[in-house]
Structure 1
Amino acid sequence: MTRNVFVVGLNDYNAERLKTLRMVEDVVFHQLLTPAQVYETQEFDIPSMLAEAEATLDAFDGSIDAIVGYMDFPVSTMLPLLSRKYGTPNTSLESLLKCEHKFWSRKVMAEVIPDHVPAFTAFDPFDDDALSKIGESNLRFPFFVKPIKSSGSRLGFRIDSPEDFDFAVQKLRAEIGQISEPFNVVLDRADLPDDIRAIEGHYCMAERVIGGRQCTVEGYVHDGEVTLYGTVDSIRYPQVLSFFYYLYPSTLPRQVQDQMWKISRKVMKHIGYDNAGFNIEYFWDEVDDKIWLLEINTRIAQSHCDLFEMVDGVSHQQVTVDLGLGRKPDMPQRQGTQNVAAEFFYRVFFGDATAARVPSRAEIEVAAEQVEGTRIVSNLSKGMKLSELPEQDAYSFAVASVWMGAGTTSKLLWNYEQVMKRLNYEFTDIED
């Protein structure tokens, strides 16, 4: 009997990759909303998207066996609402928001893993006295600020001085509405405690700066059982907050990874998260041998799909599909063709600029051919301004992503250099 899986924001590339998963011979994958609606934009009309998705599902002449997605906001927050209406497996909206509402998430973490949570407070960026109120909470420079609903590294700032805070507040006031307004739509549909309801979508978090070697633990919960299946290192460019590449498997000491996995099981069990995938970002401070939990994401990391496919033999979209169908995920280990794999981010560190030249499709294909199995995605078109790119951090622009594998990490880095020599970007109207 055919089973129908609806994937929010499904694109052509992933439509083909999903067919390579295990135990999907009887599964038909259907697009639910287009990529342009859910991630190739910076404006999210959630009521309209939900209405269109529901109209599609209501009109479908067949069984609705799963409703899944593997992207961040707004997809992640819409899934529990759709699953609740159509009776497909997923975690509850409230348990999801205990992860995605960053203030609520920190409060819940502090209940069970206080030694791994930095000092934090919420603040209103539209309050002219916000900085003094942050100081009253005993947070001192330096600290980090971000929206209570962040997406990627967007609108995240390190604050070392009042001038830094003023700059961050100006950016937050100008742009936070793109996140806060749709997020408030979701909050209005949830059963929230009064103290959390008071921290609306336009609020921000201030947290003590934490650091060290950063990584992401990937896992899922099925029928109350928390399972972890991989740790991916997050390597930054020197002296900046922007990511250079994600590396799998992690090179962290095994005992550090084991401790992170133990913390992950404890916090996800406490939250009551169930029947869905997640990933948790951590720092390991080598000097003090201290583990800090940075944040919880209520989805698999799409950037890691190629990495798991190359090293373990299948994309961890396997986890998403299996859970959506109500079954325990069948995720293999070390059955891929590569020992290590990475996603590299080719970035430029401008205030803004215009793309005067970008690699052609043929040039990208030639560059990818330098190393077998390489996949390259260019994010720019000629004449496009860098500021038009969605989901960028506050310090750089990722103009291309490169996924590749190798036998060793050193060979992987050497391969990346050979590939990038073939890609030529040129910019005009450069702003420092």
Structure 2
Amino acid sequence: MTDSKNIFVIGLNDFNRERLETLRGAEGWRFHGLIAPEAVYDTEIFDIAAMLEEATAELEAFDGSIDAIVGYMDFPVSTMLPILCEKFGIRSTSLESLLKCEHKYWSRRVQREVIPDHIPKFTAFDPFDDEAMTRIGEAGLYFPFFVKPIKSSGSRLGFRIDTPEDFYQAIEQLRGSIGTIADPFNTVLEHANLPSEIAAVDGHFCMAEEIIGGWQCTIEGYVFDGEVVSYGIVDSLRYPQVLSFFHYRYPSGLPDDIQATMIELTDTIMRHIGYDNSAFNVEYFWDEIQGRIWLLEINTRISQSHCDLFEKVDGVSNQQVTIDLGLGQRPAMSHRQGEFSMAAKFFHRVFFTDAVVTRVPTDAELAELQADFPGCHIAVQVEEGQRLSSLPEQDAYSFALAHVYLGASSAEQLLADYDRLVARLAFEFDDIQG
């Protein structure tokens, strides 16, 4: 087709290409990978300057129209997109508005300007400062509190701090590992026009925040020509007594008035930031005991974890939003036109300190499970012989062995089906620690 739209996808892999080709309008689109998926997915080493140079050269050499440049990943993909889009005249939000979401300290400061009652106490600190704990106390934060890098990547390097010992253990890990995020993030900051008080807090800094909690959820939305649209709320449910996620569930079971307030808060903050013509998701807590809604963080992309959920319930993956916006058009999301009333992504985890994987489910076993549970998809995350501690992007408490996507008629049915399925999902381990 001569008038096909050329869409460049950073880190395009086969799984995402298959999904993208099922979207509305895909018959008129040609997808091109930009930067190899292994450079942004299965690594914690990001040479952003080299990746930007490589992507720029590839786009400049392309013999055809460049109609959209998109991506679905968090850091480093999200932060490269506005730089590339500006260079090639593609509609996107500005780098500064994106950083007002992704730079955790800057984000909290702008949130505090318009929705202060929904923001925890916070302060930035330098983990290489031996007086860091004293400075956190001077900022009015006391045990327990939470620490995380200024630019976090998933749940990595996030810690709950209950005692001075916890803090010093966290500091030791942060000092050893924060550079893998901080150095490439600082490369991005060099491209931005930053206020002096933000420029002083670079990627090597961390955040300390008051502990917030409750029922966690995520609003998926977008801004198109200044209009903020929230099109779905996904619940994030954790394993009992730990921070690790158990499953994401859509649609949300939150009370309607709480959902409405969260949507209103989202509209307020995204307008204030000046975010435009891009997708986002905003994570919240509803603390039912205190009667408080807390904004946890803003992500500058759709959640890939939610794609299958929207497809099962609404009839189209929320990837539709990213592509439509990239092409400069209003997203064509449907509502409740899918095969299932509810859907979930389950994280099948082990709570070891470490272990070696000696067996994973076979292809035949997975095919049998997927036949027995219609609509089910199982994505195994480990390989035989792999040491769990080598897995990238894990939280501090567990390892995800498999992601299990299910659709059902109710929340109860989802849980019952998951229990039956996971009982047949055979993993084995050796050298188990803790």
When normalised by structure 1's length, the TM-score is 0.99
Give ranges in structure 2 of 5+ residues lacking alignment.
Answer: none
State the match for 2:126 in structure 1: 124
Choose which of 401, 404, 427 in structure 1 pairs with 2:403: 401
TM-superposed CA distance for 1:98, in Å, is 0.2
CA shift digits 1:289-325 (9 cap, x unpaired):
1100000000000000000000000000000000000
1:390 aligns with 2:392: yes
Amino acid aligned to 1:101: H
Match of 1:229 in 2: 231
* Corresponding residue number in structure 2 for 1:375: 377
- Aligned counterparts of 2:402 and 2:139: Cα–Cα separation in 1: 40
Aligned match of 1:334: 336
Number of residue pairs the alignment of both structures matches: 432
What's the counterpart of residue 188 of structure 2?
186
- State how far apart, in whole Å, the 2-side matches of 1:377 and 1:52 are: 30
Q: Which residue matches 2:247?
A: 245
Partner of 1:137: 139
**Alpha-carbon offset, residue 175 of structure 1:** 1.0
CA positional deviation for 1:211 = 0.6
Give the Cα–Cα distance (whole angstroms) in 1 for the partners of residues 268 and 427 of structure 2.
46
More moved, 388-397 vs 274-283: 388-397
2:23 aligns to what? 21
Mapped contact 1:123–1:205 kept (Cα < 8 A): yes
Supply the AA of the counterpart residue of 1:265.
D
**Contact between 1:368 and 1:419, CA under 8 Å: does it hold in 2?**
no
Which residue of structure 1 aligns with residue 174 of structure 2? 172
| C-alpha distance in structure 2 between counterparts of 1:314 and 1:421, whole Å | 30
1:139-177 per-residue CA deviation (whole Å, 9 max, x = no partner) reads: 011100000101111111111000111111111111111
- Report the counterpart of residue 272 of structure 1 in structure 2: 274
Looking at structure 1, the residues matched to 76 and 50 of structure 2 have their Cα atoms a distance apart, in angstroms, of 12
Post-superposition offset of 1:2: 1.1
Task: Work out the CA distance in 2 between the residues paired with 1:82 and 1:390.
Answer: 26
Specify which of 270, 274, 284 is matched with residue 282 of structure 1: 284
Of the candidates 131, 148, 151, which is equivalent to residue 150 of structure 2? 148
Matches within 5 A, 1:309-324: 309-324=311-326
SS in 1 for 2:146: strand
Aligned to 1:349: 351
Counterpart CA distance in 2 for 1:276 and 1:362 is 41
Amino acid at match of 1:242: S
Q: Deviations over 1:246-266 (max 9, x none)?
A: 000000001000000000000
Aligned to 2:96: 94
Q: Equivalent residue of 2:23, what SS? A: coil
Preserved contact between residue 366 and residue 422 of structure 1 (Cα < 8 Å): no
CA distance in 1, matches of 2:133, 2:371: 52
State the secondary structure of the residue aligned to 1:427.
Answer: strand
Which residue is 2:218 aligned to? 216
Within 5 A, what are the aligned runs for 1:194-205? Answer: 194-205=196-207
Q: Secondary structure at the match of 1:369?
A: helix
* Alpha-carbon separation, structure 2, partners of 1:428 and 1:231: 40
SS in 2 for 1:278: strand
Provide, for residues 232-290 of structure 1, a one-character-per-residue CA deviation record: whole Å limited to 9, x for no partner.
Answer: 00000000000000000000001000000000000000000000000000000001211
**1:367·1:420 contact (CA, 8 Å) conserved in 2?**
no
Amino acid paired to 1:218: E
SS in 1 for 2:279: strand
Distance 1:92 1:240 in 2: 37
Q: CA deviation at 1:425?
A: 1.1
The alignment partner of 2:306 has SS state of helix
Q: Distance in 2 between matches of 1:276 and 1:196?
A: 23
- Following TM superposition, where does structure 1 have runs of at least 4 consecutive aligned residues deviating by more than 3 angstroms? none
Q: Where do 5+ consecutive residues of structure 1 fail to align?
A: none
Determine the structure 1 residue equivalent to 2:64: 62
- 2: CA distance between counterparts of 1:88 and 1:384? 41
Query: What letter is aligned with 1:255?
Result: D
AA aligned to 1:335 is Q
Structure 1 residue matching 2:372: 3-state secondary structure:
coil
String of CA shifts for 1:204-247, please: whole Å, max 9, x gaps: 00000001100000100011110000000000000000000000
Higher deviation after alignment, 416-425 or 74-83: 416-425
1:95 to partner: Cα distance: 0.3
Letter in 2 for 1:120: F
Question: What secondary structure does 2:407 align onto?
Answer: strand
Alignment correspondent of 1:307: 309
CA distance in 2, matches of 1:174, 1:347: 26
AA at the equivalent of 1:117: I
The answer to which of 216-225 and 418-427 deviates more is 418-427
Alpha-carbon separation, structure 1, partners of 2:220 and 2:402: 24
1:417 aligned to 416, 419, 423, which one? 419
Q: Which moved more, 1:343-352 or 1:96-105?
A: 343-352
Q: How does 1:246-261 map to 2 (within 5 A)?
A: 246-261=248-263
